[in-house]
Amino acid sequence: MEFPFRNAVVSTFVHATEDEQRVLSALRTLLPEEVEVHQSKLKGHHGNPILNLEAKVGQRKLLRELWQHVSTELHAGELEKLGKIIPEGVDENCFFYLRFNKQLAHAGELALTDSGDAIHLRLKVTAYPAKREVAVKLLEKFIGVESG
């Protein structure tokens, strides 16, 4: 099966109450070592400072390394959960969205979460034609999930 991803963006926010180095460490849990993390300063709804940490992965080798790490570090039950969230995790532009628990990532563990305060992974699926349904089927086949 051909590798289905074209690029990825990994991002998270550092809130004023969080330690920037801890959050950066959590983000790095997902990333290959060579990938640079960029920072941008934002303001929250109440004027509180927020730091956005973001890394773009476009190089095929690094993209494969990122996916390999994610797929091997997820617990067995999480891989099953990953298969179940494919249909709802793919948008009309063929992006596949995943969120990981920021606290567990700091401890070196990868676990999927529904929480908004998470590490966000956005993967562009190379689907021809570029339709959501095609991307979903491609991902299900790649991850080894039976369509239901």
Asked if residues 138 and 21 have their Cβ atoms less than 8 Å apart, the reply is no
Q: Is the pLDDT of residue 133 over 70?
A: yes
Say how far apart CA 148 and CA 139 lie, in whole Å. 14
pLDDT digits (tens, 9 = 90+) for 79-121: 778 888 999 999 999 999 999 999 999 898 899 998 878 999 9
Asked if residues 118 and 57 have their Cβ atoms less than 8 Å apart, the reply is no
Domain carrying residue 126:
5-143
Q: Model pTM?
A: 0.92
Q: Is the pLDDT of residue 148 over 50?
A: no
Query: Does the residue 57 lie in any domain?
Result: yes
Q: What is the CATH number of the domain that holds 118?
A: 3.30.1440.10
Q: Is the pLDDT of residue 36 over 50?
A: yes
Number of domains in the chain: 1
Query: Does the residue 148 lie in any domain?
Result: no
Query: Does the residue 126 lie in any domain?
Result: yes
pLDDT digits (tens, 9 = 90+) for 38-75: 999 998 888 889 999 999 999 999 999 999 999 888 87
Query: Does the residue 15 lie in any domain?
Result: yes
